[in-house]
Structure 1
Amino acid sequence: MARFNRKGTTKVLFVETIADPGYMPTATELGTAIDYSKALAATDGWSIENQEIETPDLASTFVAKIPGDDSAADSSLTFYEDDVDDDIETNLAKGTEGFLIWCRKGRTAGSKGMDVYPIRVASNSAQVSLDNEAAKILVKCSIIDRPLQNATVPTGP
Structure 2
Amino acid sequence: MPRFNRKGITRILFATTIASTAYLPTRAEITGATKLTKSIAAVDGFSLENKTIDTPDLASKFTSKIAGDDEAADSSLTFYEDDIDDALETALAKGTAGFIIILRKGDVPASNSMDVYPVVVASKSSTITLDNEAAKFMVKFAITDTPALDAAVPAAT
- Give TM-score, length-normalised by structure 1: 0.98
Tell me, yes or no, if structure 1 residue 141 matches structure 2 residue 131.
no
Partner of 2:11: 11
Partner SS, residue 71 of structure 1: strand
Task: Give the distance between the partners of 1:79 and 1:109, measured in 2 at CA.
Answer: 27
AA at the equivalent of 2:55: T
Deviation string 1:51-109 (CA, Å, 9 cap, x unpaired) is 00000000000000000000000000000000000012100000000000000000122
Give the AA of the match of 1:37. T
* Residue of structure 2 equivalent to 1:114: 114
TM-score (norm: length of structure 2): 0.98
Match status 1:58 vs 2:53: no
Query: 2:2 aligns to what?
Result: 2
Structure 1 counterpart of 2:84: 84
| Equivalent pairs, count | 157
SS in 2 for 1:110: coil
**Could you tell me how far apart the structure 2 residues matched to 1:30 and 1:91 are?**
16
What residue identity is the alignment partner of 2:77? Answer: L
RMSD value, Cα: 0.7
Unaligned runs of 5+ in 1: none
User: 1:55 is matched by which residue type in structure 2?
Assistant: T
Match of 2:124 in 1: 124
Structure 1 CA distance, aligned partners of 2:137 and 2:64?
43
Question: 1:120-155 CA deviation, whole Å, 9 max, x = no partner?
Answer: 000011101110000000000000000000011101
Q: CA deviation at 1:156?
A: 4.4
